[in-house]
């Protein structure tokens, strides 16, 4: 936390002017006479010196708590402040009651006032402005703690997002390499094509490190993924990809759309005659809607969903807290996954 004497000065000037200068003018019988009185050279000089002394009270308490708040108990810091304040009161006495009186012929108190009365009377202002310094310190400390907590939460959130993203890519890579391994033994031409598609996806994943990417790029990777997965099959899977309302470039988090397609290929019936894998990306003025519908393969019914969708849901909760919808449901062997994101 930064030692902020400038902001303390602003706090002090406002408080001092309101409580000790403006208040006296407002409470006076005649504001014009009060202004005339306060603009006398003698009063201006005293107002300035008093202001400096009062600021030292606040600065003293602020400095002590800034230095020892987390090292010493509260009352220990008060005990450290007290002798410093006595020195400042003595300094005020020397300036106003000795120097001013010697040079200008006036002081702030009667010339015959006793030292005991002088010190006791000054401690009213000591406590007032000492409290101002302590209050300012704890306000600044509270703000600093809030900002530190928010920064820590942001860093933790970023680490968690990076972890979730790092879990997605190896999972996809592992599955794809298994597919290419199988292709090598059956059709070398398709294997080479698969390696080419995989290299495009890896380049997108490894070299594009931005938090957000253009929606068009994300859709391109979905197409690459579909082509890569389709190479494993003698008959091309029944896929219906629709992109609606994309008339201008927008950005979305990287790899936020692909998990639904992965899930459909993993658990869906790829050659269904009645229900193709429907992938719809639509955009309107307020939100991006993304839906994937597929028929569930009979032998895979118990494993629909899994790590990929759980991972995606956690990412969305971190990226769009209370601003997104995420739904996955199955009805009569038809699985529908949908997300809606704010633009």
| Closest residue by Cα to residue 214 from 288, 151, 264, 305 | 288
The confidence score (pLDDT) of residue 179 equals 72
The confidence score (pLDDT) of residue 156 equals 60
| Closest residue by Cα to residue 65 from 5, 129, 136 | 136
Kind of pairing, strands 277-283 and 239-244?
parallel
The confidence score (pLDDT) of residue 231 equals 73
| Closest residue by Cα to residue 224 from 296, 160, 172 | 172
d(CA 52, CA 44): 12
Domains of the chain: 5-148 (no CATH), 186-342 (3.30.565.10)
pTM over 0.75: no
Per-residue pLDDT of the chain (343 residues; tens, 9 = 90+): 788 888 888 888 888 877 776 666 666 666 666 666 666 777 788 888 888 888 998 899 899 888 888 777 887 888 888 888 888 888 888 888 888 888 888 888 887 788 888 888 888 888 888 998 999 989 988 888 888 777 756 666 665 555 555 555 555 667 677 777 777 776 667 777 777 777 777 776 665 556 678 888 888 888 888 887 787 677 888 999 999 887 678 888 877 888 888 888 888 888 888 889 999 999 887 789 999 999 988 765 545 555 567 778 887 887 888 888 999 998 888 999 999 998 7
| Closest residue by Cα to residue 54 from 96, 114, 110, 2 | 96
| Closest residue by Cα to residue 201 from 231, 247, 232, 170 | 170
């Amino acid at each position: 936390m930064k030692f902020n004497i400038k902001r303390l000065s602003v706090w002090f000037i406002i408080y001092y002017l309101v409580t000790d200068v403006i208040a006296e003018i407002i409470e006076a019988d005649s504001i014009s006479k009060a202004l005339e009185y306060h603009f006398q050279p003698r009063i201006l000089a005293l107002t300035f010196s008093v202001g400096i002394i009062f600021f030292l009270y606040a600065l003293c308490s602020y400095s002590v708590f800034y230095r020892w708040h987390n090292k010493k108990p509260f009352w220990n810091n008060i005990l450290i402040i007290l002798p410093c304040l006595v020195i400042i009161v003595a300094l005020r006495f020397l300036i106003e009651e000795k120097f001013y009186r010697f040079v200008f012929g006036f002081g702030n108190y009667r010339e015959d006032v006793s030292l005991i009365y002088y010190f006791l009377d000054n401690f009213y202002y000591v406590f007032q402005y000492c409290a101002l310094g302590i209050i300012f310190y704890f306000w600044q400390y509270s703000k600093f703690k809030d900002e530190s907590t928010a920064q820590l939460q942001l860093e933790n959130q970023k680490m968690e997002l990076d972890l979730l993203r790092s879990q997605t890519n190896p999972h996809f890579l592992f599955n794809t390499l298994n597919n290419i391994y199988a292709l090598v033994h059956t059709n070398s031409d398709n294997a080479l094509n698969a390696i080419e598609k995989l290299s495009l996806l890896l380049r997108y994943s490894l070299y594009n490190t931005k938090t957000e990417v253009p929606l068009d790029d994300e859709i391109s990777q979905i197409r690459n993924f579909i082509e890569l997965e389709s190479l494993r099959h003698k008959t091309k899977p029944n896929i219906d990809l629709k992109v609606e309302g994309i008339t201008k470039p927008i950005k979305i988090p990287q790899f936020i759309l692909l998990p639904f397609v992965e899930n459909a290929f993993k658990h869906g019936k790829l050659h269904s005659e009645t229900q193709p894998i429907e992938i719809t990306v639509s955009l309107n003025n307020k939100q991006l809607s993304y839906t994937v519908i597929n028929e569930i393969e009979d032998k895979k019914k118990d494993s629909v969903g899994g790590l990929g969708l759980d991972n995606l849901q956690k990412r969305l909760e971190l990226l769009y807290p209370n601003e997104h919808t995420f739904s996955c449901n199955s009805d009569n062997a038809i699985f529908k996954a949908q997300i809606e994101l704010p633009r």
